[in-house]
Structure 1
Amino acid sequence: MSARGIIRMAGAYLGARFRGGCRPLAAYYNVTFQCNLKCSFCSNWRVRVPELDRRGALRAVEAICEYGVPALGFSGGEPLLRRDIYSLASLARDYGLTTSINTNGILVDWWTARRLTKTFDYIIVSIDGFSATHDSMRGVAGAQARAVEAIKLLSEAGADVGVNTVVHPANVHEIPRLWLNLSSYVRYYSVQPVNPPPSGLDAERVHRLIGVLMRLWRERLLVLGVPELYLMGIPLYVAGVAPKICDAGKLYFAVQPDGEIIPCSPSPDLVPASLGNVCCTPLSEALNPEANRQAWRGIEACGGCWLTCTTAISMYYRRPLEAAKRYVELSFATRAPRKTRGGRGATPGKPKY
């Protein structure tokens, strides 16, 4: 993140703290639901939703920027399937926003890696395991090899590459080894459970997994992109006893491919009525609970989730010192050479479960 981005984020954070959360800290634009994978835990690729054309999408980004949000994440579907993704992100950066993109890496080649690096502050690649596991979870043979190659190309291009991993019964045993194997190329890691947790995900195994990841972080063998308490709460969520920590529509909101405004990206049907379309409804009106009381009742009724785009942000808001520390860590410390066991590319021992 640039110095300007840090200052803008800090200003928005302090404003939200002292003015009662009048402006969200993050917005997400799901630019398309089209996807070149068929993930077993995601339904977006099955959904057909109209998309804004280039002019409408630029108008949507402009509305988000003028609302005063300091950070904008582009997601999907697979956002690289939109040819105008670079124009959309460039507009946000022209406004001074910190930009990020979540991609599965399939479409990242040498040229794309360099273009992404110039356009986005943060690039997050989804990778869930070694070849057999990842390909099975993502529904396409060869997906893991493409994701790993994308990570290497992005790292060589100078990008701040992050990896996001979904905790699933199929991969809980191999996440630490996977992360350490990628540590020469990855700046930071985040992990989140499938929402809702599948019945086969054992809370005790997840607890042991989180213990290993915490130890690797404390030994400075990897950098986490999420709060420590968020990581520690994942087993509680899997066990069904985690508290609801949610600021949907207050600290974060999302825009769908057709421009519809929703308070929560993971739960688009959270509210019983539309908050409006970003192309014709001012965000100040759409995100005002007093003006949309009926539409906001669903937020209170929701049982909550445990995702990086929701709960993790809420935790940072509640713990400002940890938030400041993590921003500095992600922005500066991760640029230093990372420690590895046995040197670059070393294969660590198998964690004990």
Structure 2
Amino acid sequence: MVSHPVLCNYYVTYRCNAKCGFCDIWERPSPYIDLYSAMANFRDLKKLGVKVIDFTGGEPLLHRDIDRLLAEAKGQGFITTLTTNCLLYPKWAKKLKGKVDMLHFSLDSPVRQEHDQSRGVECYDFIVESIKIASGLGERPDILFTVFENNVHQIEEVYEQFCRPHNLVLILNPVFEYNDVKTGQPLSEDTLQKLQSWAGKRNVYLNEAFIQLRKDGGNHIDNPVCKAASSTLVISPDNQLVLPCYHLGKRSFHIEDNLYQLYTSPEVQQLIAREGRYPECEGCTINCYMQPSFAVEVNKYWWKALPSTIKYSYMKGTWKQLISKNLHF
């Protein structure tokens, strides 16, 4: 359906002020993206047809110019999204107001001790404070709940305690494995069924294609569903284009303020053509690349993802932007 990239995962830094056990990004040394390179990249991202920029990390609020980056992206017509552990949100809240279309607050457990243990720092109280601050500013952040085999039973408590009182969307994010990062037991059939039962609940977003993909054993290299490289661009903090995705990271190319020419070059296009077909791609279920993959090719996953995509766009009010930008995402 779409023959150009629709999403940019822009890593503003790999640095993080938390130490989550299910993530290894924070372990990497990292610079911060510079404004000059970002402006040049925004120009070329627009030329390439990208509509959504996810300012990610690490912890994106560690970047001292994150508000300027978001403002510039919004000013150029991009839909913006950002996920934070909330340690710095109270500091940034007023400056971020109106600049993030899809703002996510990460929460792993409704129990303070369990959440803080998962994150490696004490940040539970910051989430509680951040929700109050955001609500006072008229912002409506989502609660991003990563679902493990051992916390699926806590979905209802998170929903009732954090989402319903503040009319916030609960995003259910099934955990995925990558590289050598240990995330515990794979999600069982029973857990997948429990997850799926939440899909129709008010103010709950669950992409049911994530469930179907796991039931099917993930991506298969002989007939890949993954469109990571053609649907999504990954830009690193040191201004490199990473292919085919961040987590696999087979090749990196210095952008040097010419992202459009680099992305359309024969060498990069040859790598893109192998998306989902590398040996390491077998069984992959990485949500941040599968979601845009589901949106660009009509297959059973497209149909599975469609209801939740429409629902979320309606809940967040982004459907007007999506239609105006002729974007199916």
After TM superposition, the structure 1 stretch with the greater mean CA deviation from structure 2, 247-256 or 54-63, is 54-63
- Quote the offset at 1:328 in angstroms: 4.7
The SS at the match of 2:174 is strand
CA deviations over 1:309-344 (Å, ceiling 9, x no partner): 211222233356776655553344467xxxxxxxxx
Q: How many Å separate the matches in 2 of 1:45 and 1:84?
A: 19
Which one of the candidate residues 172, 191, 207 is aligned to 1:227? 207
Q: Could you state the TM-score of these two structures normalised by the residue count of structure 2?
A: 0.80
Q: Could you state the TM-score of these two structures normalised by the residue count of structure 1?
A: 0.75
The SS at the match of 1:28 is strand
Q: Which residue of 2 aligns with 1:65?
A: 46
Q: Which residue of 2 aligns with 1:97?
A: 78
The answer to whether structure 1 residue 194 and structure 2 residue 176 are counterparts is yes
CA deviations over 1:237-272 (Å, ceiling 9, x no partner): 7xx466552101111121010111124544152x2x
Q: How many Å separate the matches in 1 of 2:287 and 2:272?
A: 24
Q: Which residue of 1 aligns with 2:160?
A: 180
Q: Which residue of 1 aligns with 2:105?
A: 125
Q: How many Å separate the matches in 2 of 1:291 and 1:178?
A: 43
- Quote the offset at 1:171 in angstroms: 2.2
User: Are 2:243 and 2:271, in contact at CA under 8 Å, matched by a contact in 1?
Assistant: no
The answer to whether structure 1 residue 22 and structure 2 residue 3 are counterparts is yes
Q: Which residue of 1 aligns with 2:146?
A: 166
The answer to whether structure 1 residue 144 and structure 2 residue 124 are counterparts is yes
Inter-CA distance 156–26: structure 2 relative to 1 (3 Å threshold)? same
After TM superposition, the structure 1 stretch with the greater mean CA deviation from structure 2, 112-121 or 52-61, is 52-61
Which one of the candidate residues 324, 329, 342 is aligned to 2:311? 329
Alignment: residue pair count = 303
Q: How many Å separate the matches in 2 of 1:190 and 1:146?
A: 20
Q: How many Å separate the matches in 2 of 1:27 and 1:39?
A: 23
Inter-CA distance 123–140: structure 2 relative to 1 (3 Å threshold)? same
User: Are 2:228 and 2:290, in contact at CA under 8 Å, matched by a contact in 1?
Assistant: no
Q: How many Å separate the matches in 2 of 1:138 and 1:245?
A: 31
Q: How many Å separate the matches in 2 of 1:263 and 1:152?
A: 39
Inter-CA distance 305–176: structure 2 relative to 1 (3 Å threshold)? farther
The residue correspondences of 1:1-353 to structure 2 (distance < 5 A) are: 17=1, 21-109=2-90, 112-130=92-110, 131-141=112-122, 143-184=123-164, 185=166, 186-196=168-178, 198-214=183-199, 217=200, 220-224=201-205, 226-234=206-214, 236=215, 240=217, 243=220, 244-269=224-249, 271=250, 273-274=251-252, 276-286=253-263, 291-293=268-270, 297=274, 299-301=276-278, 302-319=281-298, 326=308, 328-333=310-315
Q: Which residue of 2 aligns with 1:340?
A: none
Q: Which residue of 1 aligns with 2:322?
A: none
The SS at the match of 2:89 is coil
Inter-CA distance 321–193: structure 2 relative to 1 (3 Å threshold)? closer
The SS at the match of 2:177 is coil
Structure 1: tracts of 5 or more residues without a match? 1-16, 336-353
Inter-CA distance 263–140: structure 2 relative to 1 (3 Å threshold)? same
Which amino acid in 1 is paired with 2:33?
L
Q: How many Å separate the matches in 2 of 1:298 and 1:233?
A: 17
Which amino acid in 1 is paired with 2:229?
G
